Structure 1
């Protein structure tokens, strides 16, 4: 009866011991096997066997590319506090799993320490604007320092990136005001240039309009003069002299003007003098004026002629 109980128990124990000697290593990872606390071997992905009870899996190493984000606060050359987010992508070399497992207790802390050291050595040499413009230089410096330090521990630094630069809140507000003021300045310059173009175009249009208007007035007066000349010639042909003809034309225009004004029903204009004999008086006055003007002109011409003859005679006598 006792044998019937012991045999199944022993079978179960044996099965458990055999199963404990089998373990699985996942893809892109390695397992470190120790025997009585001493390193024995490194096992890669797949189904693996070990001596039950004697061999133990001491740990597993991730062979994938990993990323560690480090937030560093430091001061720039122009005394501005700024926070930088440094993203470090790293990987354990497959041939150096032993070094990565046994030489370094906490790789994240080690990488973080180096990032702090490099960033706080590089950024204080730069002004805030240079930090934004030369962030790749900071990333290269961090990458170079980490590679030199971590290779001996079996780690490769794949890439180092400065993913964020965050100045103090008041500094960001000041930078935004400067940017807004600069954009407003450019907008004002464009608005002023547009106004200048409009003013120049308007001035050119007005100048062209005045030129055309003056040309039209000149053409109009030229035609009026030509018409008056023809009218005077017609009146001279019927025995009316030039003075009388000119006066008659003016009087005729006077009455034409009165007629045009009278056709306007809503006009309040009164032309003085407007009595019936005004036209006759105007005609007589203009004829007399023209006659007197001609007489004065002839007298001045005669006087100038005598003066010229006298001057010429005196000049000949002196010779």
Structure 2
């Protein structure tokens, strides 16, 4: 029989499914009160309490729990925000396992679930070491090395190797011993430092890539390389001697650079002068030969005139280069003096201009001198005869 059908015992009305007997429809306030009592019992309230005071305490406890839970959730969410600087990268681990690599900016990750490890990828770090080792020629040297590096892969730097910077130290020692062991002591102590630094850089980066450390080597510097202390003085003398040798070589090279160009210039100048002299001599010879040929042709036409003309030209050349002429008379005791400079001054004074001794004047002077010489010779002869 259905619960709402009449009958069933002493009850006159319909059957109540909530066990209320002949009561009417269930009260909503009563149902809420029962629910609060149950929640109060679960969260520490008094389930057996009755009356208005007991129901109000259970309702207050449930409301406070909800507020606290919501506040805790908000705080938990706010704790997940963080800022990554421009020079940093962040490795995110979720429950201890790699999850993501976070770029710069404002980020959020669930707190207490994700672990954020910040890594500065732009800072240049430095590591140094000092080692005593054998060279290829079985000599002992002491080398001090410094390595500059940055982190280029945060994931590998954080997760792949337990102590990546310590691994860098060990790898640098291995690379340095390998490179120094393949070179002679003289190269390590003198001009080979830069080459050793580059070789160590290449080999060290190869080791770090093989170990997956996430480290990028920027530069390797050999800060110091020296022999053992016991033989330091002898090595200092050797280095000083080599420096003196290099200095002398530089001085000799500087002297050669100054002298050789000057000698080459002087040699070139002499060559040019010789070439010019050769051209001049050849040109003069050719001109004289051509002049002689032309003069010979004229001589064949008129020998007497040509001889006289040559004679006069010779005298003019002689007289034009001197201002005094001494004439010796054959058979005479006196020597005649002909002052050509005085004659030229007199001619200049008369004419008001410089005198030019032409062929006619020269001939007149020659004839006059010859006639005077003859007279002097004749007078001398008559005087000697009369004395006898």
**Higher helix fraction: Structure 1 or Structure 2?**
1
TM-score (norm 2): 0.41
